[in-house]
């Protein structure tokens, strides 16, 4: 999702605009399709863009839904994720004259000559960082049986464990004691 900050950069330093962007569900053929690579199925963001000396500072929050798998039973889980956004974008040229701006720091996010900022990478990065590492379908999930692989939530059971042959030498010591 691209937003034009050209009009903002024509205003006085410190002026800001409020942006609201959302997509539910994310269109696989749309401009935010890259979010699906991170399993983000929908998002809703409120962002404040402020005119700063080097360009535009974006800050705000994003609420997203992320498709994941339960780490215990592998069922699909839809995790709600709340993330904070804060990023400085450096203008590469002046909006009024087109004259080049001072060189931005290395690895800085820049605003090109079209004065558009693509919010998709920013939203993607911040949601990925805020996504739970080990999602559960429910707090008391029993997981999968380590022997047969069945879901223990649906069919709780136990297997008789075969004796471990590595301990057989110790069994002979036990017999010698008796």
Instruction: Write out pLDDT tens, residues 8-54.
Output: 999 999 999 999 999 999 999 888 888 998 899 999 999 999 999 99
Structure confidence by residue, pLDDT tens digits, 104-146: 899 999 998 999 999 999 999 999 999 999 999 999 999 999 8
Contact present, 53 and 37 (Cβ < 8 Å): no
State both tokens at 138.
């429910």
pLDDT of residue 161: 73
Per-residue model confidence (pLDDT) at position 178:
58
pTM of the model: 0.78
Query: Looking at per-residue confidence, does 168 or 58 come out higher?
Result: 58
Query: Which of helix, strand or coil describes residue 15?
Result: coil
pLDDT in tens, 52-73: 999 999 999 999 999 999 999 9
CA torsion sign for 133, 135, 141, 147 is: negative
Where exactly are the structural domains of the chain?
A: 2-141
Give me Rg for the CA atoms of the chain. Answer: 27
Q: Six-digit token pair at 14?
A: 């410190």
Categorise residue 62: left if φ over 0, alpha if ψ from -120 to 50, beta otherwise: beta
Confidence grade of residue 172 (pLDDT, cut at 50, 70, 90): confident
The residue that leads in pLDDT, 176 or 95, is 95
pLDDT at position 85: 95
Angle at 59 between CA 2 and CA 35, to 5 degrees: 45
What residue has token string 């929908």? Answer: 42
> Which one-letter DSSP state was computed for residue 105?
P
pLDDT band at 89 (very low <50, low <70, confident <90, very high): very high
């Amino acid at each position: 999702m691209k937003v034009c900050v050209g009009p903002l950069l024509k205003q006085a330093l410190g002026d800001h605009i409020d942006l609201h962007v959302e997509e539910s569900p994310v269109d696989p053929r749309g401009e935010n399709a890259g979010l699906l690579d991170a399993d983000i199925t929908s998002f809703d963001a409120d962002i404040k863009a402020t005119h700063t000396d080097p360009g535009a500072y974006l800050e705000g929050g994003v609420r997203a839904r992320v498709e994941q798998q339960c780490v215990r039973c592998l069922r699909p889980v839809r995790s709600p994720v709340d993330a904070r956004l804060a990023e400085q974008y450096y203008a590469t040229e002046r909006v009024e004259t087109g004259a080049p701006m001072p060189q931005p720091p290395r690895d800085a996010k820049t605003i090109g000559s079209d004065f558009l900022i693509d919010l998709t990478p920013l939203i993607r990065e911040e949601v990925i960082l805020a996504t739970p590492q080990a999602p559960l379908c429910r707090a008391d999930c029993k997981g999968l049986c380590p022997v047969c692989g069945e879901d223990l939530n649906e069919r709780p059971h136990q297997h008789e464990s075969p004796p471990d042959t590595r301990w057989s030498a110790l069994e002979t010591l036990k017999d010698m004691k008796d």
